Structure formats: C-alpha cells, structure tokens
Amino acid sequence: MFADLLYEKIEKMENPTVMGLDPRIEFVPDSIRASSGNDAEAIHIFNLHLIDALCDIVPAVKFQSAYYELLGPAGAIALQKSMAYAKSKGMVVVLDAKRNDIGSTAKAYAEAYLGDNHYTADALTVNGYLGTDGIKPFIDICKSNGKGIFILVKTSNPSSGELQDLKLKSGTTVYEKMAELVNGWGRDIIGNHNYSSIGAVVGATYPEELGMLRKMMPKAMLLVPGYGAQGGGAEDVKNGFDNNRNGAIVNSSRGLMCAWKAAKFNGKYTHDQFCEAACEEALLMKTALNAVI
C-alpha cells in the first residue's frame, strides 16, 4: 500500500525529499533541445537525465501535470513515458494534478491515474472542495489498488488564506475542517507504520499551520510544497515531521531542476551540468532537512 511504500522509501534513503518535475522548455539545455524532435521529447529527455542522476538520493518524484498538458498530446506521451521511467528506477511516483469532480467523473480520474491504465502514478493530488462523494472514488481505488492521494488542505501560495483561513461559525478554519475530513477519509486505510494512504498537502510557506496540521492529522503523510523557489527553508518544514523523521515529504522543483544557476553555486555549473548541480543541491537539501527534523 502507498503509505508503507512511501514511508519505507523515505526511511531507507534517509531523505524526505520529492523531486518536482515541473519543466518548462527554457529549463532544458540547448544541447538536448537541438537533438530532440519537439519540446515534449526534449522535456522527457531532460526528465530522464534528472531521474538517473537523483534516483539514488531522492526517494520520490512529483510530476506537475500542467506543464505536460501545456504541450498537448505530445506532452501526455512525455508524461506517460517519464512516469514509467521513474517507476522503473524504483522511485515513488506522485502526479500533481489536483483533480476534483462529482463522483462519476472522479471515478474516471481515479481510473486514469491510479488504475494501472495509461499512466502509472503511485499517488495523485486531489482537491476536496466537492466533499465526500467527489473523494470516495479515489479512496476506493487506493484501497483496491494500493495507491494514495494527497488532498489539498493548506496550500503554499500567498492568497491561500482567502478561503482556506476563513473562520467558521463552529470556531475552526476552513482548512482545519478540510483536515478533519481528511482524517475521516483516511481512517480505514492505515499501513504498518500507522500512516494512511490518504495524505494531505500543506505548504512549507506556512510553518505554524504545518505544525498544527501535523498534530491534527497524525495519520496523514504530508506532501509539503513551497521549499526553495517559493521561499520555504528547512526550519519552515521541520514541524511537518514526526519523531522518526518521517510522515512528510518536502518538494523541490525549480530548486533542483534549475540548481545550476543558483547564486550559491557562484557560476560553478553550466546549463549542460544541470544534473551535477541538481545532485549537489539534493544532497545539501537532504543534509539541511536531516539537521532539523
């Protein structure tokens, strides 16, 4: 089951990092673009290099669906192939697509990404605005097929509070209510390490809320975006972890994909050395996270 798969992979690699592959074509070096038939193929090759370079350091990879959809049908092929490749290299594969719909349609999304059809994700991000019957088809397939979902609770973006932080008459906020729903949805799909395959997304950019939500959802694996390019650091994410340095996985996308041009490397790497730079950055991130959790 997904919760155990992710927990054990994090434990084995002693690294609660997920590499975000949200590539724009301008992230890909000219050398790869020149030898590729189109942008989607170039991005796929770029992904393969990063997966090869980081699969022994980082336990999981998160594909951001939007950047593949932007490339049309060729992007769907690139996504499919890159996901399958990451899986073949032993990485836990998360598709970040934030899908949501009424029950019958949610079932189609669940089958599409968690049903061993064309795409091979271990887990999918999901938006819970529609309530239980929009989430249930995903839970059903998590149970039957050993998969997982991460439900948006408190997102990392600056205006996430406009709706999510609103106070309800009952005294809690909207995101706390969502956390309560996540607890209920995940209740009967708990693995050997006492975590559920129904996890939650909580942004690194809100460290206080992250700590509170860690306590409120003791069985939810937390997917934590917002590290690096969005402003979160190791100190900001430490509240998301349990006493076993587990229970959360921190995403870095541009921080890894575009590490070669980070100011801290002071011109050490060229664009063609994006993999070497990503490796160095992944090791720095691993050290930084392990120092605080």
Is 98 among the residues known to form the active site? Answer: yes
> Is the distance from CB of 65 to CB of 95 less than 8 angstroms?
yes
> Is the distance from CB of 124 to CB of 138 less than 8 angstroms?
yes
105 touches its own copies (CB under 8 A):
yes
Query: Contacting its own copies (CB under 8 A), which of 30, 56, 116, 162?
Result: 162
Q: Is 245 left (phi over 0), alpha (psi -120 to 50) or beta?
A: left
CA distances from 31 to 43, 74, 275 (A): 12, 20, 14
Q: Which is the catalytic residue, given 81, 87, 89, 98?
A: 98
> Is the distance from CB of 281 to CB of 255 less than 8 angstroms?
yes
The site map against its own copies for 173-212 (x = CB under 8 A) is -x--xx--x-------------------------------
Residue 287 CB, nearest approach to its own copies (Å): 27
Residue bearing tokens 């700590």:
211
CA distances from 39 to 34, 47, 169, 252 (A): 10, 12, 50, 22
Q: What is the total count of residues that contact its own copies (CB under 8 A)?
A: 60
Both tokens of 138, joined, read 């995903």
Residue 116 CB, nearest approach to its own copies (Å): 12
101 touches its own copies (CB under 8 A):
yes
d(CA 60, CA 261): 23
Both tokens of 47, joined, read 């992904």
160 touches its own copies (CB under 8 A):
yes
The site map against its own copies for 267-286 (x = CB under 8 A) is --------------------
Nearer to its own copies, 236 or 280 (CB): 236
77 touches its own copies (CB under 8 A):
yes
Query: Contacting its own copies (CB under 8 A), which of 15, 17, 64, 246?
Result: 64
Residue range at the interface with its own copies (CB under 8 A); choices 8-16, 49-57, 164-172, 190-198: 164-172
Enumerate residues 6+ apart whose C-beta is below 8 A from 170. 177
144 touches its own copies (CB under 8 A):
no
95's enclosing H/E stretch is strand 92-99
Residue range at the interface with its own copies (CB under 8 A); choices 55-63, 114-122, 191-199, 275-283: 114-122
> Is the distance from CB of 182 to CB of 200 less than 8 angstroms?
yes
116 touches its own copies (CB under 8 A):
no
Residue 11 CB, nearest approach to its own copies (Å): 29
266 touches its own copies (CB under 8 A):
no
133 touches its own copies (CB under 8 A):
yes
> Is the distance from CB of 132 to CB of 185 less than 8 angstroms?
yes
d(CA 227, CA 237): 8
Catalytic (active-site) positions? 98
- Please report, as ranges, the residues that interact with its own copies according to CB under 8 A: 22, 24, 64, 66-67, 69-73, 75-77, 80, 98-103, 105-106, 108-109, 111-113, 117-119, 127-134, 152, 155-164, 166-170, 174, 177-178, 181, 225, 230
